[in-house]
Amino acid sequence: MMNLILWSLAVLCINGASANDDLVTKAAKYHAEQKWPEVIKTYGQLTQLQPQNELAWFRLANAHIQLKQGQAALNANAQLNAPQQIPASFIQFQKAQAFSLLGKTNDMWRSLQTAAEQGYSNLSNLRTDPVFEAHRDTQQYTLVSQAMDKNLRPCMYDDRYREFDFWLGRWDVYGDLAKTGPMAGKNSITQAEQGCLIMEDWQGAGGSTGMSMNYYDGIKQQWVQRWVSGGGTVADYAGGLIEIGGIKVMRLEGKIFYASKQQQPQVRAFRGTWTPLEDGVVQQFFEESIDGGKTWYPWFNGFYFPSNEVDKNAQ
């Protein structure tokens, strides 16, 4: 008799789990298709069966927001007061949407500010959501937008990541300030990855090429450059701003490797110094050492002049 009861309970559990799985699948399908009344019905059922299901409550609240049912959205959102899976900033943003629908503007701003403080970075949502349209010309909206943009693009707002910006630009490179000799080459230094990365694309007048990645490494607390040329030369060095003659310059130091065995030793100490000069000119001075840094020899001295050449890729 006991075995029969256990078997019956097992069947009921399996059937219940299967029913719940079907409901989850159906609810997710309705949500993807944006069939909001069906979403409310299915996720409403699911929250009754699984009251700890955070995603179900979150999507239920979202469906109510899409149908402009502010109080119902707020009621569902209130069930997410101790989230473990949904980011707290997402919940605060959703709460702000509900408050906006209810005309509770002060509560809306508080929730948006809290969302930003908790790391909310989906600035596109803020800018495109119609519930906030009436507030886009206000100072509060500007402040919240800036706070969320800092979450989205932290490097753009951190002075450490901006220390090498004086090198950005399109450049004609010569061997001296008077441009008495032939042009050494052209260099394009561009910002990438929301200001977290600087890319270099060198085109030498004699046909040499090379590219480098430059970034502030938060682990090392240093600026890093990794350079690779078409000839197989690799440089890996790091450093930061130092002061020389009252001017802040970027100084990186490390190693250089030559793929050609004609260069002996193939691995040498290497350092580069970038100095901002007058009229927007930048000096780039490279040195290398074959005795571990005891003695340094000039490797390349280039003066970067802003190029008048049009960037074809920008057209």
Question: What's the confidence (pLDDT) of residue 18?
Answer: 61
Q: Are residues 131 and 225 in the same domain?
A: no
CB distance 30 to 39 below 8 Å: yes
Whether the pLDDT of residue 309 is over 80: the answer is no
pLDDT recorded at residue 21:
87
In which band, very low, low, confident or very high, does the pLDDT at 313 lie, cut at 50, 70 and 90? very low
pLDDT at 263: 85
* 3-state SS class at 315: coil
Q: Which of 299, 203, 210 is nearest to 253 (CA)?
A: 299
More confident residue, 208 or 20: 208
Length of the chain (residues): 315
Residue 302, in any domain of the structure: yes
Q: How far apart are CA 223 and CA 214, in angstroms?
A: 7
Report CA-CA distances (Å) from 110 to 105, 144, 195: 9, 10, 29
Judge if 142 and 178 occupy the same domain.
Answer: no
Is 315 among the domain residues? no
Question: Considering the chain, what is the average pLDDT of its residues?
Answer: 92
Asked if residues 186 and 173 have their Cβ atoms less than 8 Å apart, the reply is yes
Residues 150 and 177 in one domain: no
12 pLDDT above the threshold of 90 = no
- Tell me, yes or no, whether 61 and 175 share the same domain: no
Residues 226 and 248 in one domain: yes
CATH number at residue 190: 2.40.128.20
Give per-residue pLDDT as tens, 208-219: 999 999 999 999
Domain of 45? 19-157
127 and 179 share one domain = no
Mean pLDDT of all residues in 147-169: 97
pLDDT given at position 167: 98
Q: Which two structure tokens, joined as six digits, stand for 147?
A: 């706070």
Instruction: Name the domain boundary from 128, 157, 186.
Output: 157
Q: How far is CA 179 from CA 175, 189, 202, in A?
A: 7, 21, 19
What whole-number percentage of the chain has pLDDT above 70? 92
Q: How many domains does the chain have?
A: 2
* 143, 44: one domain: yes
**Quick check: is 73 in a domain?**
yes
Q: Which residues pair with 275 in a beta bridge?
A: 283
Q: Write the CATH number for 141.
A: 1.25.40.10
Would residue 3 count as lying in a domain?
Answer: no
- For 36-78, how does the pLDDT look when each residue is reduced to its tens digit (9 = 90+)? 999 999 999 999 999 999 999 999 999 999 999 999 999 999 9
Is the domain of 296 the same as that of 212? yes
Q: How far is the first Cα of the chain from the last one, in angstroms, to the nearest whole number?
A: 82
pTM metric for this prediction: 0.79
Whether 142 and 188 map to the same domain: the answer is: no
